[in-house]
Structure 1
Amino acid sequence: MEPAKKDNTWHYNKSLRGFANLNRKDMTKSEACIWKYLLSRRQMLGYQFRRQRPVLNFIADFMCKELMLIIECDGLTHQWEENIPKDIARQKQLENIGYKVLRFRDDEVLNDMENVNRTIIVYIEDFQKENV
């Protein structure tokens, strides 16, 4: 599959738009926190993040086109043994089209927002150095 880029609208999947809209209105507590305190209104070093963005056959919790970055907030269900292979396959598909995926557990977001913030900033700084 070709890399995600402006020409192919970053592999936006219109058929998932309705479900993504519902997810946007019913975010988890960790998604709401990361959105409010880190990602909304270009708070993260001026980059625009989008919530619940359909990409391929998935809905990414947060996506930044400019950074080719997807951020996932993993709740308890992602730790269940039967879901781990699905998450790995999903992440590989997203990485194969050029996205970097950062994953944070709900408890990390809720209890250690400073580390989450630092991890995202380090990714952005590295991205900027590589793409000068």
Structure 2
Amino acid sequence: MSITNLPYDPRMRERVQELRHKMTPMEKKLWYSFLRTYPVKMYKQRPIRTFVADFYCPLARLVIELDGSQHYTEQGMQYDMERSAVFEQYGVQVLRFRNQDVSAHFEMVCEQIHEAVVKRLEELERGKEG
């Protein structure tokens, strides 16, 4: 499996397209104000197996998730743990932010994403050398 290709269920295609067209306000803010023009390629609503990651950076193998209130219920937290475990089994790191953080601390969120990308790229490069 290449660094950019992760397994996905083709039945997810329609759901992915729907999510891309119906991004939440915080997803739109992060995408249009930062990720879309970030110097390392990012994708929005990227399928991984039967799940859809909010944002994915294939070069850094990094998923960025934005969590609304539904993520803080018992069922939501369980589902997120399952999703993260699936992503991580493919060597993908998951970075989570609350919607409130994107709204109130946008610059901090962008800085943390940038730092995570730089760190992951360094780690993956070291892994190639060793």
Normalised to the residue count of structure 1, the TM-score between the two structures is: 0.87
Q: For residue 42 of structure 2, what is the aligned residue in structure 1?
A: 49
RMSD of Structure 2 on Structure 1 (CA): 1.6
Q: 2:55 aligns with which of 49, 62, 65?
A: 62
Alignment of 1:31-50 (within 5 A): 31-40=27-36, 43-44=37-38, 46-50=39-43
Q: Which amino acid aligns with 1:17?
A: R
User: Gaps (5+ residues) in structure 2?
Assistant: none
Q: 1:78 aligns with which of 63, 66, 71?
A: 71
Counting aligned pairs with the same residue, the percent is: 30
**SS of the residue aligned with 1:61?**
strand
Measured against aligned partners, the alpha-carbon deviations of 1:70-121 in whole angstroms (never above 9, x if no partner) come to 1111111001122111111110111111101101111111111111111111
* Counterparts of 1:7 and 1:113, CA distance in 2: 29
Q: Which amino acid aligns with 1:39?
A: L
Q: For residue 95 of structure 2, what is the aligned residue in structure 1?
A: 102
**SS of the residue aligned with 1:51?**
strand
Q: 1:18 aligns with which of 14, 22, 32?
A: 14
**SS of the residue aligned with 1:72?**
strand
Count residues in correspondence.
Answer: 125
* Counterparts of 2:101 and 2:62, CA distance in 1: 19
* Counterparts of 1:82 and 1:7, CA distance in 2: 31
User: Gaps (5+ residues) in structure 1?
Assistant: none
